[in-house]
Every structure is written in C-alpha cells, then in structure tokens.
Amino acid sequence: METFGAPTVSVVLLALLSILTNPLVAFGRQTPNHDTHQRRTYIIQLRKPAASLDEQNLNIWYESFLPESDGSSMRLLHSYSEVFSGFAAELTEEEVKNMEKKEGFLRAHPDRVVPLLTTHTPAFLGLKQNQGLWKASNLGKGVIIGVLDTGLTPSHSSFDDEGMPPPPAKWKGSCSFESGCNNKLIGAKDMISGGSSSSPTDEEGHGTHTASTAAGNFARNASAFGLGGGTAAGMAPHAHLAIYKVCSSQGCSLADVLSGIDAGVKDGADVLSLSLGGSSLSLAEDPLAIGSFGATEKGVFVSCAGGNSGPSQSSVSNEAPWILTVAASTTDRSFRASIELGDGHSVNGESLDQLEALSETSLPLYFSQDSPDCGSISGDASGKVVVCKAGQSPADLATRVKDSGGVALIYITDASQGSTKLVRRVEFPAAFVSDKDGASIISYATSKSNPTASISFGGAVLGASAPSVAFFSSRGPSLACPSIIKPDISGPGVNILAAWLDSEGTGESNYNIISGTSMATPHLSGVAALIKSVHPKWSPAAIKSAIITTSDDKIASGKPIRDQQEEPASFFAMGAGHVNPSKAVDPGLIYDLNTDDYIAYICGKFGDSGASVIVRDRSVNCDNVKNITEANLNYPSIFVALQSGSSVTVKRTVTNVGAASSSYKVQVNVPKSVSVTVTPQTLKFSKVEEMKSFTVTVKLTGSSSSVEGNLKWISDKHVVRSPIVVSSS
C-alpha cells in the first residue's frame, strides 16, 4: 500500500491506486501511548511447550498468562500454534510487565498495523495455453495458494471451478463464505480479530485483485472501463485458492497477519502470498518474519511485497532471507492516448478514460506558466485541452478543468516518477504523460501563439518497451539483512488488470486496473505454485533460487532493464531481474537452504536470544552451532562488503537438478575496479541432486563505492546467473 504521508510504523496493503482513489489509508490501530493503563494489542511470544499440547490445553496455558481480574478469554484475540508459540491480546503495559515474570514468557511484540502494499500478464511472462510451463505444470494443478489480504469476492467468474479437480487430500481448511466454496476456492476464513464483519467477503477489492492475479481461473470478457478485453487468467489458473482475510480498510494488524500465516500452514497451503508490509524491522522483532520462518521450516513458500516506498534507498521491507521479496515493474501493455500537437510532434500518453467523442479533434491548448499545476485556471480555458503538472490529484484536477469549461486534461506526472505512468480513472477525457514528454508539450504550448492538440484513444496496446522498474518500488540495500541483496525479483506491478468487487451489485464480474508491489507479489506466488506443481519436493529455498537465477536482466531487445529514470536498473531496484517463469521451472542448478542453514545464520546474527525467538526450537544452543555469516548464507545472489585493497572470500554450494551428467563453466562479468576469482572454474556432475561447492574471492582494486556484476555457471543447456554486488565498507 502506498505510504505517502502515512506513519512509518504502520503496515499497509501495497496497492497504490486504491489509496489514491479511495482512502484506504493505513494508520496504526493504536499508536504507542505512555499511559500504562491504556490497552493495546500485543503479540505475546512464549517458549514452545516441551510437549505438544492440543488446542484446548494450549489455550488454557495461554490464558494462564492473562491477568485474572476480568473475563480473560474475551481478551485473547488469537492463539497461535503452527508457526509461533503464543497469542495476541489487548493488554496494558503494566499487565505485560507482570507477564514477563512468568515461566515460559519470551517476548512481547507490540502489534503494528501495516498497509496493504491481470489478464495480459501471463502472456507477457511467456505463459501460453497448452504449451511450455502451463502444460508441464497442468496450470498449477494440485497446489494450494493461501492469499492473506482483504478477503475475496466469491461470485467473480475468476473463481469458478471449471476444469478444477477437488482439493488435495492434505487440505484441512474450512470455508466461511455463505455461498460456500468450490474446487477453485477451497477455503476462506476471516482472521480479523474484533472486526465488525465475520465474513471473508472482500469489501475493498484488493484481495479479489491479488487472488485472481495469483490463481484466477480463465474468465472470458475481462475488461475494466472497456479496456483490456479478452480472457483473463491468473499465473496458476488451476491452483487452488485459500483465502485468509487479515486486512481491512484500516490496513492489516500483524496479530491478524500472523494468525493468517498460522492458519494457512495448518490448513495445508503450499504457497502464502502477502501483498502487505510495513517498514523494515529486525528479524527477531518482526512477527511476520518469525511466522514466515515457521512456514518455511514446514516447506511453505512465502512471497511478500517489498513495499511502495521507492525510489529512496533502503526502503525495502519483508526482507528475511527465507521470504521472496518482490519488486514491481511495468508491462508491455499501455492504455494508449496519443497526443498530436499542432506542429506535428506527437507524444504517447495513457488513459483509462478513453472517450471516443473527443477523439482526433484538434483543439486549442491551454497552459498557464503562472499556475503550471492548475492551482488556478483562468476563464480562457473554455473549450480547450488543459495541460497541468502534477500537484493535486488527477481526479480533482479533472473536476477543476471541467468546471472551468475545459474539454480534456493532459496530466503531467511528477518528475520523480520518471517514465512510470500510474493511470487513474478520472471520468473525464484525460491523458497521463511523463514529465519528459510533458516538457515538450509545455515548450510547444508556450512558444506558439495559437497552440493546438488532438488526443486519440487507442485502447490497450501491446509492445511498449518493458519491463522497467516502477518509481514506487522499494529499494535495497536491506536494513535488516544488509548482506542479502533485496528485493529478490521483480514482477508486473504497474497498471495491472484483475478481478474486482461487484461494487454496483450488478451480478457481473468486475475488473480494475491498479498498481503496486501488491500486484507484483501474486504474480510471483503463482509462478512459485507452477514450479511447485512440477517439482513437488523442492524446498522453498530451491524454488526461490530457480526464480532468481533464471530471471531476465535484459528486455527483449537485449538492452538492460531500466528504472523509472531510464538508467539501467540496479539489483537493489529490480532484484536479480524480471521473473521468467518458463526458465524458472528448469534452472539446471539450485542454491538450496535447509532449516539447519538458517539456524546457523540466525545464531551468528542474533545469538541464543534471537534464535529462541525466531527458531523456537528449545534444543537449539548457538554454542554448538557452526555459525554462518550473512554473506556466506547459501543465497542465490552474492553481496560482499570490503575495503579497498582488501579481499573477501565467500562460499556457495549448488545442487544439480538438471541432467545427471552435466558440466558447468564459470563466467564472471564485473567492472574493472574489482577482481573476482572463482574456485574451481568448472563443476562436473554425474548424478541428479549431487552437490558441489565453490568459493568466490573478491578484491576491490579501484576506489568505487559499489559495483555490480554477474557470476554465471554455464552449461550447454543452462545459464545459472547470480547477481554480485561489491560494496566498499
């Protein structure tokens, strides 16, 4: 969710448009208060009980921590069991203090409210019916994707179960939709504690949008505002969906999110998709990271939005190494509004208000140098196309232009947004143009005495140069895990068409076009489901490695993927690159990680206190663990920090998942200011699942502060690419 002006402590759904068009503003449910008698929500973490307790005894134990005075069970908001030991409750600071003395107490995490952070995108990502990965994976058959969001609109045709088999036997969830569930939509629960509704029905649209992007079934006649018509489908059209409503118009309480993760794992989900997140927190203090660790340990893949706080540095969130952190980029589809200026020069704008009546009529152009953002529009705008720079919201500007007699709006987006054009519906003829194109329109409008322009609406047009990283997509380096390159990967997140609420109650399937890392995340959750369907035994880390090492760092023309300022995108913007699902299913080699690797990493980073909170296993004693540094975690990307003239060596291990007999040669492409030596230079495998280790020694010879390159293992069938970032400390 967009966080313009929102307090940093809040967690937000990560869609941009929704916040700009309806006030889905995220703010803390309760901000910290120094009144020790004021109650607020805490997530109380306890030591995992030595013996496993059934639900009833677990609750009795949890309740024994609550103050005795009043109906204590009333105050237990959630009790967790699968991925976390403890509960959520409303407590005063004083009550928490008293609890700390009790045997078994570990930590009190104050609850935070975080913000919520596609018809065409499967084809854009190379997925086609009866071919390639969709064929190999049977469209994601047999895999369950749990979506933690604002709920879902069950009547939408994207959630019909045509062609779907019944849920797998391991499914243990339940359905609380009044209308029931089906073979596509196999479960739905409202996890919002103390919420007014107790139904998982979506009242915002965000959850309907993200769920249909991950696993919407084929739905004919999908269009929004008459645009983008065609058959819509999610990334894994035959995967099953399990819905956990954890967010409302107020945002998402982490206590509720944790309970959604807990329930999803218990119910049998394979992939969890979270399009929400707040600011970066230490892993040991972040219930989302802790719960995701528990999920990953049980083999569940967790994919999370990286945030919409870009392009500022170190704005990325949800950065734990066991989470897939997703960045957002543009697609090759634009909603064309071509502007032809009187001098013959033309500019490609975009619009969701494709109003034919105006099309191709040459009209006088209005622009005021005194008020470029149209704060005031003088009388002579009547009958004209009015040019305004970003300032007020596009909808407000459209109203203002209309009131002053103007007939169309050219909206110039803010320079900081670069080439990313977030189109919004304004119910008035409008064209959104970039700051750069806007400058040429202004220069024409101010240099000619009777400037004119015409706008012609071209509908949905494919072939735009894409992807490029969206300005809003949060950037690394990660504050919580500085030696892990985050985000991991980018996916489509700008102007994404997917299912929406039937807000007018027409009974028809509605669609909307919105943007955010919220929209990119379910694309990756769907891709993870496709891979899981083909390789059911792969660990979450193996699936992530496959996605990262096969990603594209170039666009179709062979040029590097760019950011919103048309500069080559750094790994801290796009992750390793843009997801390439067809390649991800057959990566050749994987960088795997198991629970012991993560424990060795957590011990090294946080010692016993952090390990007890994140790992939860009583038997873990960091003194007996061979610690792994962050840079040496067997991650599919490589980050080293070092001083000029010094050198650092890191180790990696790859597992052969391609042909039994295969041979790889290393290729390193880095700028001259660093030298990288890989030992050995060749890896020869004779068995599937055989593992081979290698070392990478990096020396900084020049004085540059941060350089990027790639380490590739190349066979005759595969290129296994790991991004390398070398930073001078």
Nearer to ligand NAG, 217 or 404 (CB): 217
Q: Is 633 in the site for ligand NAG (CB under 6 A)?
A: no
Nearer to ligand NAG, 622 or 707 (CB): 622
Nearer to ligand NAG, 579 or 622 (CB): 622
Q: Of the listed pieces 76-84, 512-520, 601-609, 720-728, which binds ligand NAG according to CB under 6 A?
A: 601-609
- Check residue 210 and report its DSSP letter: H
Q: Is 622 in the site for ligand NAG (CB under 6 A)?
A: yes
Q: How far is CA 124 from CA 101, 273, 428, in A?
A: 57, 21, 30
Q: Is 364 in the site for ligand NAG (CB under 6 A)?
A: no
Sign of the Cα pseudo-torsion (263, 183, 304, 488, in order): positive
Which residues pair with residue 42 across a beta bridge? 89, 110
Alpha-carbon distance of 125 to 722, in angstroms, equals: 20
136: enclosing H helix or E strand: helix 132-136
Q: Is 481 in the site for ligand NAG (CB under 6 A)?
A: no
Nearer to ligand NAG, 218 or 366 (CB): 218
Nearer to ligand NAG, 94 or 162 (CB): 162
Residue with tokens 């690419």: 721
Q: Is 615 in the site for ligand NAG (CB under 6 A)?
A: no
Nearer to ligand NAG, 16 or 603 (CB): 603
Site for ligand NAG in 638-667 (CB under 6 A): none
Report which of 183, 185, 179 is spatially closest to residue 507, judged by C-alpha positions: 179
Q: Is 477 in the site for ligand NAG (CB under 6 A)?
A: no
Token pair in block for residue 191: 């996890």
209: enclosing H helix or E strand: helix 206-215
Q: Of the listed pieces 6-14, 106-114, 602-610, 690-698, which binds ligand NAG according to CB under 6 A?
A: 602-610
CB neighbourhood size of 509 (10 A): 21
Q: Which of 439, 620, 625, 670 binds ligand NAG (CB under 6 A)?
A: 625
Which residues pair with residue 709 across a beta bridge? 724
Q: Of the listed pieces 278-286, 324-332, 374-382, 603-611, which binds ligand NAG according to CB under 6 A?
A: 603-611
Q: What string marks each residue from 216 to 255 as x (binds ligand NAG by CB under 6 A) or -? A: ----xx----------------------------------
148: enclosing H helix or E strand: strand 144-149
Q: Which of 82, 436, 607, 653 binds ligand NAG (CB under 6 A)?
A: 607
Q: Is 18 tagged catalytic?
A: no
Q: Is 603 in the site for ligand NAG (CB under 6 A)?
A: yes
Nearer to ligand NAG, 111 or 160 (CB): 160
Enumerate the H helices of 535-645 as residue ranges.
Answer: 540-549, 571-574, 581-584, 595-614
Q: What string marks each residue from 443 to 472 as x (binds ligand NAG by CB under 6 A) or -? A: ------------------------------
Alpha-carbon distance of 355 to 573, in angstroms, equals: 36
Q: Is 155 in the site for ligand NAG (CB under 6 A)?
A: no
Q: Of the listed pieces 450-458, 545-553, 620-628, 712-720, which binds ligand NAG according to CB under 6 A?
A: 620-628
Alpha-carbon distance of 518 to 491, in angstroms, equals: 10
Nearer to ligand NAG, 630 or 690 (CB): 630
Q: Is 597 tagged catalytic?
A: no
Alpha-carbon distance of 251 to 6, in angstroms, equals: 11
Options 156, 206, 209, 523, the catalytic residue: 206
Q: Is 518 tagged catalytic?
A: yes
Instruction: Please give the angle made by the CA atoms of 343, 345 and 349, to the nearest 5 degrees.
Output: 130
Q: Of the listed pieces 20-28, 347-355, 623-631, 693-701, which binds ligand NAG according to CB under 6 A?
A: 623-631
325: enclosing H helix or E strand: strand 324-329
Q: Is 54 in the site for ligand NAG (CB under 6 A)?
A: no
CB of residue 229 to ligand NAG, shortest distance in Å: 8
CB of residue 9 to ligand NAG, shortest distance in Å: 28
Cβ within 8 Å of residue 671, ≥6 positions away: 702, 704, 707, 708, 709
- DSSP-assigned states of every residue in 504-525: T--SSPEEEEE-SHHHHHHHHH
Q: Between the CA atoms of 109, 489, 474 and 29, what dihedral angle is there, to the nearest 10 degrees?
A: -30
Cis peptide before 165 (omega within 30 of 0): no
CA atoms within 13 A on the CB side of 280: 22
CB of residue 620 to ligand NAG, shortest distance in Å: 11
List of residues contacting ligand NAG (CB under 6 A): 220-221, 603-604, 607, 622-623, 625, 627
Catalytically active residues are 149, 206, 518
